[in-house]
Each structure stands twice: as structure tokens, then as C-alpha cells.
Amino acid sequence: MRKRIRKHLSSLAPGLAANTYDLLSDHNRISALILEERSYTLSLLETFILALAEYIETGDRQRVVQQSREIALFRSKQGIALACILERVRVCRDSLLEQIRRDTHRLIFTEEERLGLYQIQMDLFQFVDTLIDVFIQTYEEDEEQRKQLEMQANSLTKEDFSQVAEQELVQLVLQSTDIAVLIIDRNLRIIEANYSFAELQQVERAQIIGKNIDETFRPRENERFVQWVIERGQSGHYVADTNGTLTTVSTSPIYHQGELWGAISVLRNITDSKRYEDELTKREALAAVGQLAAGMAHEIRNPLTSIKGFIQLLKEQTENAQNSSYFSVILTEIERIDGLLNDVLVLARYRDDKISAERFLLMDEVLGVIRLLEPESNRRGIRLELDWSGDEWYIYGFRARIKQAVLNILKNAMEALVMKGSTVRISVYASINQVVLTVEDDGPGLEEKVLKNLFIPFYTKKPDGTGLGLSTTQRIILDHGGEIFAENSSRLGGARFEVRLPISN
């Protein structure tokens, strides 16, 4: 249940952050300085909400406390009032608790879980009180440190001031959450490591300070990057895989009074950047293939239309029953080819001038698809269950394409129940500025390999499948500014698809 709550709140984090910001603005409880940096404040609010959501699942207080200290220290140095920060923390907490209360029916399934949810809400309320104390303490410590520096400022020489500034800079670097820093002496002993480095290496920071780096981490011989600075005088820039995280590693010597004192290593996580580059390369390749596919689809359709017309003419002129059945098979196969070409055009983002975008009710299309599939589901003994409050939501786009996407998902769910299962549940509800459609079944579910390749064109596990259904569906949803996710259902045990589309106001 905790994992379910975290996942739900994490998906709503951007909207909750925006609501929190708007609430503070509406009540004039936010300083002019924060209002001038809306995007950054929204980012901090979202980060704090995500940290609380993670705490609900893991119960790890230390990580959230450390993160809160860093935020408090940074905001204190910016000169932002403590009262303003505390107000933001309280409103974040209230927004989270209110969201949990509103979505109780989606988060729990048993009375035992209901009691557990009450305990989670109480614990979250008390934990935020603890974090408020952390913010207050950090502000007081920073204020005290600032006063001490001001008292010393009058007696500092230019050289002394430079040393203090360097120390402050070092502390800011060591407290950074973006980069991991490691410092060793010439005996390969770890002198300093920040929390980001400890987190990257999955160790406790206090346990590695003062230890020999080779004995602590036992790196491969070709990855002793910072050691090479001491042993070979070789500094440089490298790329490494650190516990599954792709990082850049920059190393440099540290000299004191002309002698080599030690070495420093700076590591930066580039996993997301690498993923983005790979995704960009993949999209560019797909775009090129899509343009080629669109051109080929048009060229194939032209002779196909002529063939279809002549077959229909021959069928009308032939009275032989056997030949007539042959013609019917040929026409059926031509229709199938035409359907495949339509899927290819959708993947290539082809826009038919005859189809225009409009504002329409999503449930009209969902109910239409359910009515269309009911005869087949009744014949096969499959229950189509609809969980819908009766509310109506408008979306903007291409009505026929959205209907096709919903039809593809429901047909996939019904086809998954060939060997096991008899229920397909469709749930539709609103979440902030999106309408959410989920389709779950009690079939065999999705294997890990299938989940990874689910939306790749032409990937299929069906003997007679084309592998274009779900990739076409994903393209339709993305073109409408939406999102689509797939996982295994914790409720029914089979597959679960979730579609999110922006509501048109």
C-alpha cells in the first residue's frame, strides 16, 4: 500500500506544487522575492513533495532531513524569511494530506489498509513537525555563523578573507546534491567525501572517512582514476558505471606549499543526459523511417484501390458461388492491408486533411467502444466492468483517433484472457487537470521483457499480430498531449494500462 501511495502522489507532485504555490500567492503569504522566481520555487515545492512521498514508502527520515537542511541553508543564505519557508512546508503537508483523503478510495482496498492509511497520515503530520524544527535549527545556526563572520570581518586581512571565502566555497561544494566529491591524501586515505558521493557508492559517509580507498571500494584495476593521480601523476576525465549509474569522473592533484598533498575526484550523474541523447537519436531515426513509411503507404494504397475496385467488379459479374467466396477472401485481405497502412500512417504522424480536431466528450467514445465490444465479450464469457462517477470531461483532438486508441487497449485486454481470466475493468476519473483512463484485467499479466518492448513498433508475442496496435496507440496519446503507462495490476493480477489526457476547459 505504501508503494501504491508513493507512486500516486509522485504522479501528482507537479500539480500539487502548483496548487501550493497558487494558494500561498492568493493569500499574500509568500514574499515578493519568491514570487519573482516562480519556476525555481515550484521546483523546490515539487522536490519537497516527492521527498515526503518517498518517506511514506521507505520510512527513511535521514534522507529527507538532510535534504531539508540543504534547502533551509540555501534559502537562508538567499535572505528568505523563515516564516515564509515554514508556511510553505505546512501548506505542502496540508495539500498532501488532503490529496490522500480525497483519493482514499483509490489507495486502499481493505479495512486493514484503511487503518494503515490513518497511521500513515498521522506519521506524516508528525514528521513534518520534526522537519519544521530542522528548518528552524538550520536558520538559527546559519544566523549565528553569519554573526560570527561579521564580527571577524573587521579584523580580517585580505589574505585571511580569501581563506575564509575558499573555505565557504569548499563547504558549498561538499554540500552539493548535484555533484559527488572525493578527496584522498598521498597515502590513498579518504580525507573527505560529501553525502552525494556516499549515496552514489551506497555507503555511509562516516564509515569511509579515514579508510584506504582501495580497501574500502576495491575498484577494478582499469577504474582507479583518482589513485592514478597519486601513483602516476595522471589526472583526467573519464566515464564510468558506478553501481548502475552512468557518471563522468574528473580527477586533479592537490598541492600544498609546492608538494603533492593528495587528489580530488568529482563525479556527476549523466544517466538522464545519456538517456535523453539515446531517446533523441531513437526519435530522429523513427522520424526518418516514419517519413519513408508514409510515402510507401501512399504508393501502396494507389494500386490497392484499383485492385479492390476490379475485384468488386468481377465479383458482381461472376455467378459462380465458389469464385464469389474467393473474391470475398481477397477483399477481406485487402481491407486488412488497408488497416495496416492506416496504422503506419498514424505512426508516421500523417495528418489527413479530411479529419479535423474538435472538442468532444471522452466518455462518448469510451462508452461507444464498450458497446461495440459487448457482444464479443458476452460470447466469450468476459465481464466488462465500468467504474465511472458519471462526470463528463471534454478533451480536444481527433475523436476517431482517440476511439481507436481506446479500442486497441480494450481489445488487447480481452485477447490476453484466452488462457486465463474473465474480467476487464475500466476506470475513468479526473486528476487535477487530466482525465485518467485505466484498463485492468485478471489475465496472466506482462513479463518483464514484454514491458520493456511493449510500445516498440512491430514487437509482438501474438502469432498473427503485427506489433503496431500499442505503438499506434502510444503515438495517438502522445499527439494529444497525453501519457500512457503499462504495468501489472496489483488489484486484479493481470495487465494494467493507464492513459492520461489533458482536460479541455
DSSP secondary structure of 377-417: HHHHT-EEEEEE-S---EEEE-HHHHHHHHHHHHHHHHHTT
pLDDT band at 32 (very low <50, low <70, confident <90, very high): very low
pLDDT band at 28 (very low <50, low <70, confident <90, very high): very low
Range with the lowest mean pLDDT among 27-36, 129-138, 219-228, 484-493?
27-36
pLDDT band at 98 (very low <50, low <70, confident <90, very high): confident
Choose the CATH number for 358-502 among 3.30.70.270, 3.10.20.30, 3.30.565.10, 3.40.605.10: 3.30.565.10
**Whole-number Å distance between alpha carbons of 392 and 243:** 48
pLDDT greater at residue 344 or residue 493:
493
- For residue 338, the model assigns a pLDDT of 73
pLDDT band at 30 (very low <50, low <70, confident <90, very high): very low
Nearest to 366 by CA among 429, 434, 303: 429
Q: Has residue 36 got a pLDDT over 80?
A: no
Mean pLDDT (whole number) for 36-58: 79
- For residue 34, the model assigns a pLDDT of 43
- Judged by phi (left if over 0) then psi (alpha if -120 to 50, else beta), residue 432 lies in left
**Whole-number Å distance between alpha carbons of 396 and 481:** 10
CB 131 within 8 A of CB 64: yes
pLDDT greater at residue 446 or residue 76:
446
CB 447 within 8 A of CB 459: no
Mean pLDDT (whole number) for 458-480: 75
Mean pLDDT (whole number) for 204-226: 86
CB 212 within 8 A of CB 227: no
Second CATH level (architecture) for the domain 273-347: Orthogonal Bundle (1.10)
Q: Has residue 247 got a pLDDT over 50?
A: yes
The percent of residues in the chain predicted with pLDDT above 70, rounded, is: 79
Answer yes or no: CATH 3.30.450.20 is held by domain 159-269.
yes
pLDDT band at 168 (very low <50, low <70, confident <90, very high): low
pLDDT greater at residue 459 or residue 373:
373
Nearest to 446 by CA among 483, 381, 404, 490: 490
- For residue 424, the model assigns a pLDDT of 94
Q: Which long-range contacts (CB under 8 A, 24 or more apart) does 11-14 make?
A: 11/431, 12/99, 12/431, 12/432, 13/46, 13/49, 13/50, 13/53, 14/42, 14/46
pLDDT band at 395 (very low <50, low <70, confident <90, very high): very high
Q: Which long-range contacts (CB under 8 A, 24 or more apart) does 304-308 make?
A: 304/334, 304/337, 304/338, 304/341, 307/334, 308/334
Range with the lowest mean pLDDT among 81-95, 207-221, 437-451?
81-95
Q: Has residue 35 got a pLDDT over 80?
A: no
- For residue 348, the model assigns a pLDDT of 54
Q: Has residue 400 got a pLDDT over 70?
A: yes
**Whole-number Å distance between alpha carbons of 12 and 6:** 10
CB 451 within 8 A of CB 486: yes
Residue burial 365-381, b: 16+ Cβ < 10 Å; e: rest: bbbebbeebeeebeeee
* 235 strand-pairing partners: none
Q: Which of 67-76, 345-354, 381-390 has the largest mean confidence?
A: 381-390
CB 377 within 8 A of CB 411: no
Superfamily of domain 2-155: Globins (1.10.490.10)
Which DSSP helix (H) or strand (E) runs through 425?
A: strand 423-431
Domain positions in the chain:
2-155, 159-269, 273-347, 358-502
Distance of CA 126 to the CA centre of its chain: 28
**Whole-number Å distance between alpha carbons of 201 and 180:** 10
DSSP conformation letters of 234-278: --EEEEEEETTEEEEEEEEEEEETTEEEEEEEEEEE-HHHHHHHH
Nearest to 250 by CA among 262, 263, 238: 238
- For residue 384, the model assigns a pLDDT of 93
CB 102 within 8 A of CB 22: no
Mean pLDDT (whole number) for 402-408: 89
Report the mean per-residue pLDDT for the chain. Answer: 79
Cell of 175: 554540500
**Whole-number Å distance between alpha carbons of 290 and 285:** 8
Range with the lowest mean pLDDT among 107-111, 137-141, 143-147?
107-111
pLDDT band at 173 (very low <50, low <70, confident <90, very high): low
Mean pLDDT (whole number) for 294-311: 72
pLDDT band at 282 (very low <50, low <70, confident <90, very high): low
Q: Has residue 219 got a pLDDT over 70?
A: yes
- For residue 441, the model assigns a pLDDT of 94
Amino acid identity of 503?
Answer: I
Q: Do domains 2-155 and 358-502 have the same CATH topology?
A: no
Quote the Cα angle for 304-307-312, to 5°: 125
The percent of residues in the chain predicted with pLDDT above 90, rounded, is: 14
Distance of CA 409 to the CA centre of its chain: 21
pLDDT band at 275 (very low <50, low <70, confident <90, very high): low
Cell of 32: 515578493
